[in-house]
Amino acid sequence: MKTVGVTPLAALVRAGLEAVAEPGKAAAMQAYMKSAMPYLGVSAVPLRQMCTALFKDLRYESAAAWQDDVLGVWRGAAFREERYCAIALTGLRAAEKFQRFEAVGLYEEMVVSGAWWDYVDVIATQRLWALLCNDPVPVKELMRQWSGDKNMWKRRCAIICQNKAKKGTDLALLYECIEPSIGSKEFFLRKGIGWALREYAWTDPDEVRRYVAANADRLSGLSQREALKNVLRPRTR
Protein backbone atom coordinates (compact mmCIF):
# COMPACT_ATOMS: atom_id res chain seq x y z
CA MET A 1 0.00 0.00 0.00
CA LYS A 2 1.25 3.45 -0.83
CA THR A 3 2.02 5.82 2.01
CA VAL A 4 0.27 9.17 1.68
CA GLY A 5 -0.25 12.24 3.79
CA VAL A 6 -3.66 13.04 5.21
CA THR A 7 -5.77 14.66 2.50
CA PRO A 8 -8.26 17.45 3.30
CA LEU A 9 -11.26 15.14 2.91
CA ALA A 10 -9.59 12.42 4.97
CA ALA A 11 -9.02 14.94 7.75
CA LEU A 12 -12.70 15.90 7.69
CA VAL A 13 -13.68 12.22 7.82
CA ARG A 14 -11.45 11.64 10.84
CA ALA A 15 -12.85 14.68 12.64
CA GLY A 16 -16.42 13.70 11.83
CA LEU A 17 -15.92 10.20 13.16
CA GLU A 18 -14.23 11.43 16.33
CA ALA A 19 -17.20 13.71 16.99
CA VAL A 20 -19.67 10.78 17.06
CA ALA A 21 -17.39 8.09 18.48
CA GLU A 22 -18.12 6.16 21.65
CA PRO A 23 -14.60 5.10 22.70
CA GLY A 24 -15.95 2.60 25.19
CA LYS A 25 -17.24 0.48 22.31
CA ALA A 26 -13.98 0.46 20.35
CA ALA A 27 -12.24 -2.52 21.95
CA ALA A 28 -15.27 -4.81 21.60
CA MET A 29 -15.78 -3.78 17.98
CA GLN A 30 -12.14 -4.50 17.20
CA ALA A 31 -12.31 -7.87 18.92
CA TYR A 32 -15.49 -8.87 17.10
CA MET A 33 -14.00 -8.05 13.73
CA LYS A 34 -10.64 -9.62 14.64
CA SER A 35 -9.09 -6.42 13.34
CA ALA A 36 -5.45 -5.40 13.63
CA MET A 37 -6.55 -1.86 12.82
CA PRO A 38 -8.17 -0.16 15.84
CA TYR A 39 -11.66 1.27 15.98
CA LEU A 40 -12.80 4.66 17.19
CA GLY A 41 -16.08 3.23 18.44
CA VAL A 42 -18.54 4.50 15.81
CA SER A 43 -21.60 2.32 15.23
CA ALA A 44 -23.17 1.82 11.81
CA VAL A 45 -26.03 4.33 12.08
CA PRO A 46 -24.02 7.37 13.23
CA LEU A 47 -21.30 6.47 10.74
CA ARG A 48 -23.81 6.41 7.90
CA GLN A 49 -25.36 9.68 9.05
CA MET A 50 -21.96 11.34 9.30
CA CYS A 51 -21.02 10.21 5.79
CA THR A 52 -24.33 11.42 4.37
CA ALA A 53 -23.86 14.88 5.89
CA LEU A 54 -20.19 15.17 4.95
CA PHE A 55 -20.44 13.87 1.39
CA LYS A 56 -23.81 15.31 0.32
CA ASP A 57 -22.40 18.30 -1.56
CA LEU A 58 -19.48 16.51 -3.20
CA ARG A 59 -19.39 16.68 -6.98
CA TYR A 60 -16.77 15.25 -9.29
CA GLU A 61 -15.85 16.32 -12.79
CA SER A 62 -13.63 13.31 -13.38
CA ALA A 63 -13.21 9.73 -12.28
CA ALA A 64 -9.63 10.53 -11.33
CA ALA A 65 -10.69 13.20 -8.83
CA TRP A 66 -13.21 10.83 -7.26
CA GLN A 67 -10.68 8.00 -7.00
CA ASP A 68 -8.12 10.35 -5.46
CA ASP A 69 -10.58 11.24 -2.70
CA VAL A 70 -11.50 7.61 -2.10
CA LEU A 71 -7.89 6.48 -1.93
CA GLY A 72 -6.92 9.46 0.20
CA VAL A 73 -9.38 8.30 2.87
CA TRP A 74 -8.61 4.60 2.39
CA ARG A 75 -4.83 4.78 2.41
CA GLY A 76 -4.64 7.37 5.17
CA ALA A 77 -6.89 5.43 7.54
CA ALA A 78 -5.66 4.82 11.07
CA PHE A 79 -9.04 3.50 12.24
CA ARG A 80 -11.29 0.92 10.62
CA GLU A 81 -14.29 3.22 10.44
CA GLU A 82 -12.34 5.52 8.11
CA ARG A 83 -12.20 2.71 5.58
CA TYR A 84 -15.93 2.19 5.93
CA CYS A 85 -16.26 5.85 5.00
CA ALA A 86 -14.03 5.33 1.97
CA ILE A 87 -16.32 2.52 0.83
CA ALA A 88 -19.34 4.79 1.37
CA LEU A 89 -17.60 7.39 -0.81
CA THR A 90 -17.38 4.86 -3.64
CA GLY A 91 -21.15 4.53 -3.58
CA LEU A 92 -22.09 8.20 -3.89
CA ARG A 93 -24.77 9.10 -6.42
CA ALA A 94 -22.28 11.65 -7.72
CA ALA A 95 -19.98 8.75 -8.60
CA GLU A 96 -22.53 6.61 -10.46
CA LYS A 97 -21.18 7.69 -13.84
CA PHE A 98 -17.73 6.41 -12.84
CA GLN A 99 -18.90 2.86 -12.11
CA ARG A 100 -17.31 1.47 -15.23
CA PHE A 101 -14.62 -1.06 -16.01
CA GLU A 102 -11.99 1.64 -15.52
CA ALA A 103 -12.78 1.64 -11.77
CA VAL A 104 -11.61 -1.96 -11.38
CA GLY A 105 -8.13 -0.95 -10.25
CA LEU A 106 -9.58 1.09 -7.39
CA TYR A 107 -11.68 -1.78 -6.14
CA GLU A 108 -8.89 -4.29 -6.61
CA GLU A 109 -6.63 -2.25 -4.34
CA MET A 110 -9.34 -1.99 -1.69
CA VAL A 111 -10.07 -5.72 -1.84
CA VAL A 112 -6.44 -6.81 -1.71
CA SER A 113 -5.28 -4.37 0.95
CA GLY A 114 -8.51 -4.64 2.98
CA ALA A 115 -8.47 -8.44 2.94
CA TRP A 116 -11.42 -9.03 5.24
CA TRP A 117 -15.08 -9.79 4.73
CA ASP A 118 -16.54 -6.53 6.07
CA TYR A 119 -14.79 -4.59 3.31
CA VAL A 120 -14.79 -7.18 0.57
CA ASP A 121 -18.44 -8.17 0.68
CA VAL A 122 -19.74 -4.63 0.19
CA ILE A 123 -17.30 -3.98 -2.63
CA ALA A 124 -18.15 -7.26 -4.35
CA THR A 125 -21.93 -7.28 -4.03
CA GLN A 126 -22.48 -3.56 -4.59
CA ARG A 127 -19.58 -1.94 -6.43
CA LEU A 128 -18.37 -4.81 -8.62
CA TRP A 129 -21.99 -5.65 -9.26
CA ALA A 130 -22.50 -2.09 -10.59
CA LEU A 131 -19.50 -2.52 -12.87
CA LEU A 132 -20.85 -5.85 -14.04
CA CYS A 133 -24.16 -4.23 -14.96
CA ASN A 134 -22.55 -1.30 -16.75
CA ASP A 135 -19.73 -3.10 -18.57
CA PRO A 136 -20.68 -6.79 -18.55
CA VAL A 137 -18.32 -8.16 -21.19
CA PRO A 138 -14.94 -7.03 -19.75
CA VAL A 139 -16.05 -7.36 -16.12
CA LYS A 140 -17.28 -10.92 -16.62
CA GLU A 141 -13.95 -11.83 -18.17
CA LEU A 142 -12.15 -10.20 -15.26
CA MET A 143 -14.26 -12.12 -12.74
CA ARG A 144 -13.30 -15.33 -14.50
CA GLN A 145 -9.67 -14.34 -14.03
CA TRP A 146 -10.21 -13.36 -10.40
CA SER A 147 -11.93 -16.69 -9.71
CA GLY A 148 -8.60 -18.45 -10.17
CA ASP A 149 -6.41 -15.79 -8.59
CA LYS A 150 -4.01 -16.71 -5.79
CA ASN A 151 -5.65 -14.01 -3.66
CA MET A 152 -8.54 -15.56 -1.74
CA TRP A 153 -10.49 -12.30 -1.49
CA LYS A 154 -10.46 -11.74 -5.23
CA ARG A 155 -11.80 -15.27 -5.61
CA ARG A 156 -14.57 -14.51 -3.11
CA CYS A 157 -15.45 -11.37 -5.07
CA ALA A 158 -15.81 -13.37 -8.27
CA ILE A 159 -18.10 -15.86 -6.55
CA ILE A 160 -20.44 -13.39 -4.82
CA CYS A 161 -20.46 -10.44 -7.26
CA GLN A 162 -23.83 -11.57 -8.70
CA ASN A 163 -25.60 -11.99 -5.37
CA LYS A 164 -28.06 -9.20 -6.19
CA ALA A 165 -28.72 -10.38 -9.75
CA LYS A 166 -31.74 -12.61 -9.06
CA LYS A 167 -33.28 -13.55 -12.47
CA GLY A 168 -30.47 -11.70 -14.17
CA THR A 169 -27.85 -14.09 -12.82
CA ASP A 170 -25.44 -15.39 -15.44
CA LEU A 171 -25.53 -18.96 -14.17
CA ALA A 172 -22.69 -20.11 -16.38
CA LEU A 173 -20.49 -17.33 -14.98
CA LEU A 174 -21.48 -18.19 -11.41
CA TYR A 175 -20.54 -21.83 -11.88
CA GLU A 176 -17.32 -20.90 -13.66
CA CYS A 177 -16.34 -18.67 -10.75
CA ILE A 178 -17.19 -21.33 -8.17
CA GLU A 179 -15.28 -24.10 -9.95
CA PRO A 180 -11.66 -23.10 -9.04
CA SER A 181 -12.62 -22.90 -5.35
CA ILE A 182 -15.11 -25.76 -5.10
CA GLY A 183 -12.64 -27.98 -3.25
CA SER A 184 -10.98 -25.22 -1.24
CA LYS A 185 -10.46 -25.61 2.50
CA GLU A 186 -10.71 -21.84 3.02
CA PHE A 187 -13.70 -20.94 5.19
CA PHE A 188 -14.47 -17.69 3.38
CA LEU A 189 -14.49 -19.40 0.00
CA ARG A 190 -16.69 -22.23 1.21
CA LYS A 191 -19.03 -19.74 2.87
CA GLY A 192 -19.03 -17.53 -0.21
CA ILE A 193 -19.99 -20.43 -2.47
CA GLY A 194 -22.87 -21.32 -0.21
CA TRP A 195 -24.00 -17.71 0.04
CA ALA A 196 -23.99 -17.21 -3.73
CA LEU A 197 -25.99 -20.40 -4.29
CA ARG A 198 -28.42 -19.51 -1.51
CA GLU A 199 -29.11 -16.14 -3.10
CA TYR A 200 -29.80 -17.76 -6.45
CA ALA A 201 -32.06 -20.31 -4.76
CA TRP A 202 -34.59 -17.53 -4.13
CA THR A 203 -34.96 -17.42 -7.93
CA ASP A 204 -34.56 -21.07 -8.92
CA PRO A 205 -34.50 -23.48 -5.97
CA ASP A 206 -34.73 -26.53 -8.20
CA GLU A 207 -31.58 -25.57 -10.06
CA VAL A 208 -29.69 -25.06 -6.80
CA ARG A 209 -30.88 -28.43 -5.52
CA ARG A 210 -29.72 -29.99 -8.78
CA TYR A 211 -26.32 -28.31 -8.67
CA VAL A 212 -25.71 -29.25 -5.04
CA ALA A 213 -26.73 -32.87 -5.65
CA ALA A 214 -24.57 -33.10 -8.77
CA ASN A 215 -21.56 -31.74 -6.88
CA ALA A 216 -22.20 -33.24 -3.46
CA ASP A 217 -18.87 -35.06 -3.49
CA ARG A 218 -16.97 -31.85 -4.20
CA LEU A 219 -18.85 -29.14 -2.32
CA SER A 220 -18.01 -28.79 1.35
CA GLY A 221 -20.67 -29.50 3.92
CA LEU A 222 -20.67 -25.81 4.80
CA SER A 223 -21.30 -24.78 1.19
CA GLN A 224 -24.12 -27.29 0.87
CA ARG A 225 -25.81 -26.23 4.11
CA GLU A 226 -25.61 -22.56 3.19
CA ALA A 227 -26.84 -23.21 -0.36
CA LEU A 228 -29.91 -25.12 0.78
CA LYS A 229 -30.74 -23.02 3.83
CA ASN A 230 -33.67 -21.20 2.18
CA VAL A 231 -34.77 -24.00 -0.11
CA LEU A 232 -38.13 -25.52 0.77
CA ARG A 233 -37.65 -29.24 0.61
CA PRO A 234 -40.60 -31.40 -0.44
CA ARG A 235 -42.32 -33.18 2.41
CA THR A 236 -41.77 -36.91 2.80
CA ARG A 237 -44.40 -39.31 4.03
Looking at residue 48, what is its pLDDT? Answer: 97
Looking at residue 231, what is its pLDDT? Answer: 84
Contact 122, 86 (CB under 8 A): no
Report domain extents, the chain: 1-98, 99-237
Classify residue 58 by its DSSP letter: -
Q: Tell which CATH classification among 1.25.10.90, 1.10.3720.10, 3.50.50.60, 1.10.10.10 matches the domain 1-98.
A: 1.25.10.90
The rounded distance, in Å, linking the Cα atoms of 173 and 207 is 15
Looking at residue 230, what is its pLDDT? Answer: 84
Can 1-98 and 99-237 be said to share one CATH topology?
yes
The rounded distance, in Å, linking the Cα atoms of 46 and 41 is 10
- Which parts of the chain have pLDDT scores under 70? 1-5, 232-237
Looking at residue 237, what is its pLDDT? Answer: 39
pTM: 0.92
CATH of region 99-237: 1.25.10.90
